Structure 1
Amino acid sequence: MEAILVPTDFSDNSKPGLRFAIRLAARNKAALVFAHIFQPKRPYTGDAEALKKADIAKAQLKLEAFIRKVYNSLKVEPGEYTCKILEGFKADITILDYCQNHPDIKLIIISTRGASFSNKILGTNTGNLITKSPIPVIAIPKDYRNKPLLNVLYATDLENLDEEFQRVLDFAKPRGLSIELLHFSSPSTLALEKNLRRDVLESKTGYPLTIRIEKNDSHHPMSKNLQQQIEKIKPSLVVLFTNQNRTFYERLFLSSMSEGLSFKSQTPLLVFKK
């Protein structure tokens, strides 16, 4: 069975991600792994190993109680899930290491709480996962309120369309979500736009979709143009593919659209690695 990893720091801000994951997993009977990153905050003296084990055991009990309260608040019968305490000094690295050693993890769902300018550059846990994770990440806004999951908005530059659309389809179809494809037209993509046909894509995939082509407003950053469309269309989920092979200076001066949106949008954001 495929599994979804859902990190929590026990804060209220992390609860939207937990609630979203519980409802999403119920749609296709996925297993959930709720994880808390244990970061030792004090040097241990004496029997250091025993003291650390005791702290980890306390964290395990706290995590299990925290998750039970979330399920109770939703008034839903728990599906298959486990609670894991992961030891590490950096949450994002610890999460990625765990996923690498557990190939059954096919998705990470994590809440985002916003970020300062410096944190956007150096990376928050959510931002770092978006720009580093080889498996898809769903970022849930801290103020998100549960809504029916009906449709996904797939924003694309039309490059590698067949491969990307198949991955979107693999996510949406088992969950019964409709797909709307969004592209911002520009002179550099006119040739690709001519080959974009809804009937051809539907014939290839056997799945209905809507195509929306909008003129790109060059006076605004792409993230703002996309945000305007999100507010207009009101999708349940936005899907993006991000290029993770950027240098530090590219991240500093040319922020990833998907990473930037994870701090602004009130709509859950699903990010795949290109």
Structure 2
Amino acid sequence: MKTILCPTDFSILADSAIHYAVKMATVFDASLILYHCFIPFESAFYPLNSTTQENLDTKTILTNHLTAIMNSIVDKNPSLSITIHVDQGPEGIKITEFCKKKKIDLIVMGTKGASGLKEKIIGSFTAEVMTKASCPVLAIPEKYKFKIPKKITYASNYHKKDKKVLSYLLEINKLFNATISILHVDKGIMAFTADEDFDKYKNTIENHFKDFEFSFKHITGENVAKIILEETVADKTDLIVINPFKRKGFWNRIFYASITKKTAYLITKPLLSIPVQ
């Protein structure tokens, strides 16, 4: 992990993510980029040079804000490599483009979550980034303070690409030395083959990762996101890990994306999404 990106909208929520990102960059000896994106002003009623100047002024103000944050971080962490970047355009598109261009290894973002009608109307920007980013995204709940995770739970769908996700997770865990539990929530659709699927998956993982001992839990329930959260609270998980499940087919994409988003909406612990192509 060489480069960590931390988007900010200058809110208290974003400040929590910045503090966490600074700690992560220190632990991994990585560089940190503070990022902000704004929608440029455009109007047919104003001359082009006027709108251009206004956008330049806006970018200068935002750059100054980021610089002030960067300087306060450097004062306390003089050895940390940190830079800033201000983008303009649709943030959901720009942030993913920037990550690909700069080969970002991890995005650290704050998340407050959403529920009910608010969830359906505006959702969570962090959850959207999780389903679209080509690199891992770490969502930090409001006011959550950094600590080295001692227990990690990977919410699995028993997919063949889990081995890639777990390989990445084990690389990160070399610095944490945490226990890792693999949790699967079966919606009951294929309940009659559940035991067989569990045994087959467990044997596959254990045979592939002979140098690490995972624990496994397979349970049945309808509300997958809710059960994941309840189980991880009960067993005092410090970090929840998911794969955003980029599947072929419209209904599969809708179903798995919704689980990713609902989990991100409701978390009280850091949530790491690891995309695997």
For 1:211, give the aligned amino acid.
S
Q: 2:57 aligns with which of 54, 57, 79?
A: 54
- Match for residue 235 of structure 1? 237
CA deviations over 1:205-249 (Å, ceiling 9, x no partner): 464333132431x3x411121111111122221001122346489
- In 1, Cα distance between the equivalents of 2:206 and 2:174? 13
Aligned pair in 2 of structure 1 residues 78, 68: CA closer, same or farther (>3 Å)?
Answer: farther
Shift of residue 40, structure 1, vs aligned partner: 2.8
- In 1, Cα distance between the equivalents of 2:251 and 2:157? 23
- In 2, Cα distance between the equivalents of 1:39 and 1:168? 35
- In 2, Cα distance between the equivalents of 1:213 and 1:265? 20
Structure 2 unmatched runs, 5+: none
- Match for residue 263 of structure 2? 261
- Match for residue 188 of structure 1? 193
Aligned pair in 2 of structure 1 residues 116, 221: CA closer, same or farther (>3 Å)?
Answer: closer
Give the conservation status (yes or no) of the 8 Å contact 2:70–2:83. Answer: no
Shift of residue 139, structure 1, vs aligned partner: 1.1
User: TM-score, normalization: structure 1?
Assistant: 0.83
- In 2, Cα distance between the equivalents of 1:31 and 1:59? 21
Q: How does 1:5-154 map to 2 (within 5 A)?
A: 5-41=5-41, 43=43, 45=47, 46-69=49-72, 75-88=76-89, 90-103=90-103, 105-121=104-120, 123-154=123-154
Structure 1 unmatched runs, 5+: none
- In 1, Cα distance between the equivalents of 2:149 and 2:6? 18
Aligned pair in 2 of structure 1 residues 51, 159: CA closer, same or farther (>3 Å)?
Answer: closer
Using the TM superposition, name which of 63-72 and 31-40 deviates more.
63-72
Shift of residue 158, structure 1, vs aligned partner: 2.0
- In 2, Cα distance between the equivalents of 1:57 and 1:159? 47
- In 2, Cα distance between the equivalents of 1:25 and 1:208? 25
User: TM-score, normalization: structure 2?
Assistant: 0.82
Give the conservation status (yes or no) of the 8 Å contact 1:242–1:272. Answer: yes
Q: How does 1:216-227 map to 2 (within 5 A)?
A: 216=220, 218=221, 220-227=222-229
Give the conservation status (yes or no) of the 8 Å contact 1:181–1:209. Answer: no
- In 1, Cα distance between the equivalents of 2:33 and 2:114? 26
- In 1, Cα distance between the equivalents of 2:251 and 2:84? 35
Q: 2:216 aligns with which of 209, 212, 216?
A: 212
Give the length in aligned residue pairs.
266
For 1:61, give the aligned amino acid.
N
Give the SS at the match of 1:209.
Answer: coil
Alignment root-mean-square deviation, CA: 2.9
Aligned pair in 2 of structure 1 residues 36, 254: CA closer, same or farther (>3 Å)?
Answer: closer
For 1:213, give the aligned amino acid.
K
Shift of residue 138, structure 1, vs aligned partner: 1.0
Moved over 6 A (4+): none
Give the conservation status (yes or no) of the 8 Å contact 1:150–1:176. Answer: yes
- In 2, Cα distance between the equivalents of 1:190 and 1:247? 29
